A and B are shown apart, each in its own frame.
Chain A
């Protein structure tokens, strides 16, 4: 049964009736023995792919198999930042398609995801960094995507909390994308699960995949028994290598933990998303008032969803260097997610050595922003068997062909991305 249309009028009507009329946002399904398409992983990418397969490609016989509950993976653990300020042209095009997806998201999915284009500001602290950001801004301008250079006075006006003259890395300027911002992460998962469920997709929670037998159809062993499917999409983030091993192949992926933190709530002090360029630290303020912040990965292979102490210290140190006033706030919560770090730092949306088995992985620490376009291109690939024009550069074969995506020039070292 559908949850019905959401609107201000509906809210008013339900309020008058004591909120007794709300129905589940999506129908809780049990796994059937066979599907045309099975998607493993009910994170943002799995759910968005299911939605686009049903909506854009007209395939309804789909299951999303999620080992936990919707939103307990990286979807519900990220710091909600969206932007399209990439460097290589194909990446700028892909991520801006995603950003345009966010601009349409709430109308299209009839869900309030608190899309807030408050701007993302990357701070510049050295001459070399300024040259690099200028080059990036020009690359974006060539693709018709907005980017601006901001001088130190402009930075101070945008973010009064920033200490411009910090002794080690004084702020020389900033690189601003006004269309960037934040989106309520849980709401994104709920919106896609609801929309996909309304289109007939089975959202199967608490059902983990524990074995994959190639063939036609592909047989999945799950904690709820076997499920066969004509085509299978793996969208399991940090667990991609484990699932690929079940199907008999290895990936150019290593799994790393990334942490985030949130402070107690305060009055509005931080209007946009700010990234420190002198160390690993970035922050924004949630609508509830907490300062949400994070830094680099823990720097070594890890499947532990908790995060390491040296990285806690490094993130806090960098944050206080940039915004000393934050030292007055208490940190309320800290958590971590396990991420699919690819060898070149860019996603892999691709076919695999196993026929009819497809991949959406390698989203690294930046895959939340990609969800609206990531779902579309993965759905296109699974439905048609050919890559979407926006995602031809994300194929797995690029590593063998020497066509890695040189977004940052860091080499095949996931701990350095």
Chain B
């Protein structure tokens, strides 16, 4: 069971949250072209290691925020609001 630190509510069980994928990709400007959008929508680093990702506190405050988690050990090192960056 992941114990996820919501920046608003504090730590809660994974079952309260919804996963929303890789938070390291950024949406390109509207005129960036097909290749930029292809990379943004489809290509992922998919690391076996530290991963920055979106979670939503669906059964809590409903905020969406970032988590830095290790995809092998599941250790969570950091959580923060959109726009923030892990130290």
Contact = CB atoms under 8 A, between A and B. Distances in A.
Interface in B29-87: 34-35, 38-39, 41-48, 51, 53, 71-74
A18 B74 CA distance: 50
B56 to A, nearest CB: 12
Nearest to B39: A250
A302 B44 contact: no
B46 A255 contact: yes
Contacts of A304: 71-74
A253 B22 CA distance: 12
Interface string A302-324: 11100011100100000000000
Main secondary structure of the interface of B (DSSP, over half): mixed
Residue of A310, A313, A343 with most chain B CB atoms under a 10 A cut-off: A310
Contact of B53 (A253, A300, A303): A300
Contacts of B45: 241, 245, 250
- Interface size class for chain A? 20 to 34
B9 interface: no
A241 B38 contact: no
B21 interface: yes
Interface string A393-412: 00000011000000000001
A335 interface: no
Contacts of A313: 15
B2 interface: yes
Nearest to A397: B38
Given A299-B19, A310-B15, A343 B71 contact: no
B21 A413 contact: yes
A308 B38 contact: no
A415 B74 CA distance: 17
Interface in A199-221: none
Contacts of B43: 250-252
Interface string A223-266: 00000000000000001011001000011111100000000000
Given A301-B53, A415-B21, A308 B2 contact: yes
Interface in A170-185: none
B51 A301 contact: yes
Given A301-B51, A400-B35, A241 B42 contact: no
Given A303-B48, A400-B38, A255 B71 contact: yes
Nearest to A413: B21
B44 A251 contact: yes
Contact of A253 (B46, B72, B73, B74): B46
Contacts of B42: 252, 343, 399, 412
B14 A303 contact: no
Given A300-B53, A301-B53, A309-B1, A241 B46 contact: yes
18 contacts: A251-B43, A251-B46, A254-B22, A255-B46, A255-B71, A301-B22, A301-B53, A302-B71, A303-B72, A308-B1, A308-B2, A309-B1, A310-B14, A313-B15, A399-B38, A400-B35, A412-B42, A415-B19
Given A254-B21, A309-B1, 16 more contacts: A241-B46, A241-B47, A250-B43, A251-B46, A252-B42, A254-B22, A299-B19, A301-B51, A303-B71, A304-B73, A304-B74, A308-B1, A310-B1, A313-B15, A412-B41, A412-B42
